[in-house]
Amino acid sequence: MILLSFDAAPRRHGHDDRVHPPPDSPGPTGPDPDRPPTPSRATASWPRSTQRRRGARLLGLDAARGLAVLGMFVAHFNPYQTFPDSTLQAIVSGRSAGLFAVLAGITTALLSGADDPPAGAAMRERRVRLAVRAVLLFGLGLALTALGTSVKEILTAFAALFLLALPILRVRPVLLAAAAALLAVLGPVVSFLLRAGIVGDEGVGETIAPWHLTSPAGIAHAALVLTVTGVYPLLTWAPFLLAGMAIGRLPLREAAVRRALVLGGATVTAACYGLSWLLTGPLGGYALMAADLGTDVAEARRLATTAIGAVPTVHPVALLTTAGHSGAPLEIGGVIGLSMVLLGVLLVLGDRVPGPLTPLIAVGSLALTCYVGHIVVIAILGPELLARLFIEHLYLVLVAMVVGALVLATVWRSRLGQGPLERPISYLCRRIAAPAAPRHLHPSEHRRPT
């Protein structure tokens, strides 16, 4: 389901004959904090304050990625994950994946220039990198689906979202935010209407599998799953990416921006969840739905909130829910707002007290490896053994997975830097994009986004 820390940080272009980052730059938020960056000829002449501001990792961003990954661990190793009244599952379901998607949008913005995206050949190189990353993630996602686990992988959806972002990498953050808000409302409504009257529920709750790509009919089905009916359809997941891109275009090191993220996110979250509660409860939304369906309010609530990726088409009132993975407008807005709050808080803590966050930061810097690894563990254990472990040991498996990820990621990051999946993906993105890199481009030649 990745945020993803997959490639090197975008650097300012200087007189050096290559613009891609040096090998000691493992993540989109800057060089590894345990290995000081080596200034190039281009950056050596810049003011030291500029080098620090542009070069250092945003540790809070890594911590947010780590939180998203561990939230997915909870969703998939919670022994009561199939129980509708599981509070723990209700907390992480949909929200971890949504945070992951917002962070993927931020990563997209950072990889394409952060708050000062380049133009011309420099931007072409960034687009090539993102396109290569999309292809690699798509293949990796198909491989995870082929393992046959119950986990609905998110990597193929992220691949599509990265490709969707390519034409809009230079769009201003205010326009990105406006597009995210508009699509958060219109996307679920259009999806509801399409599934209610045209495409039906074919492929609801699915992700793309390798066998879908072996025939024209299978490809058409895969396209439907990817855009409308799947677990992570573009119609309802594009807002997460756009919101993340808008955030990533802001100067995230500034205190005012961080305060705005926390206050603005808290306001959006409270408004979305409060409005949903008001419309479905006191104002009679579920009661109206129950009357129309000839059932009681409890059953109407269950029907409206039981969804995987797309709003149930049983009644329009279902569009007012904030249930996890529902794909409803207020759920999308609430998750984006919550992601803003978490990011703003973690950015501050990452700068001021990074020590206690070190294990979480390590998981976030190895997000792809940890995400893929936990699905591989599920495949190795198998459904029968996993079910028996849940019954006999309850939360022991979850605790072991979380603690193991925190410890192993910390050790790996401190000793080896980039993760075993992050490193080859970063390398391939740089190598394949290298021919598109401009030469002898000075930072003053950058242009502001349109």
Contact criterion met (CB below 8 Å) for 4 and 365: no
| C-alpha closest to that of 94 among 376, 331, 312, 277 | 331
Output phi, psi for 325, to 5 deg.
65, 15
Tokens of 248: 């990533």
| C-alpha closest to that of 369 among 94, 3, 51 | 3
What confidence score (pLDDT) does residue 87 get?
85
* Average pLDDT in the chain: 85
Q: How far apart are CA 272 and CA 329, in angstroms?
A: 9
Over residues 160-182, the pLDDT tens digits come to 999 999 999 999 999 999 999 99
Contact criterion met (CB below 8 Å) for 330 and 273: yes
What confidence score (pLDDT) does residue 42 get?
35
CA atoms within 13 A on the CB side of 215: 4
Over residues 68-101, the pLDDT tens digits come to 999 999 999 999 888 877 888 888 888 999 999 9
Over residues 343-395, the pLDDT tens digits come to 999 999 999 999 999 999 999 999 999 999 999 999 999 999 999 999 999 99
Residue 346 neighbours by CB under 8 Å, 6+ apart = 60, 61, 63, 64, 67, 357
Handedness of CA 378, 383, 389, 395 (dihedral sign): positive
Q: How far apart are CA 24 and CA 420, in angstroms?
A: 15
Read off the pLDDT of each residue in 293-301 and give the average, rounded to a whole number.
Answer: 91
Instruction: Work out the pLDDT band at 440, boundaries 50, 70, 90.
Output: low
Over residues 256-269, the pLDDT tens digits come to 999 999 999 999 99
Whether the predicted pLDDT of 55 surpasses 60: no
What confidence score (pLDDT) does residue 201 get?
75
The CA-atom distances, in angstroms, between 442 and each of 78, 125, 447 are 52, 16, 11
Over residues 1-37, the pLDDT tens digits come to 444 444 433 333 333 333 333 333 334 444 333 333 3
- The residue ranges of every structural domain in the chain are 61-438
Contact criterion met (CB below 8 Å) for 202 and 227: no
The pTM score is: 0.85
| C-alpha closest to that of 104 among 242, 207, 227, 273 | 242
Whether the predicted pLDDT of 152 surpasses 70: yes
Whether the predicted pLDDT of 153 surpasses 90: yes
What confidence score (pLDDT) does residue 3 get?
41
Q: What is the percent of the chain with per-residue pLDDT over 90, rounded to a whole number?
A: 68
Tokens of 395: 């939360």
What confidence score (pLDDT) does residue 86 get?
83
Coil, strand, or helix at residue 216? Answer: helix
Coil, strand, or helix at residue 314? Answer: coil
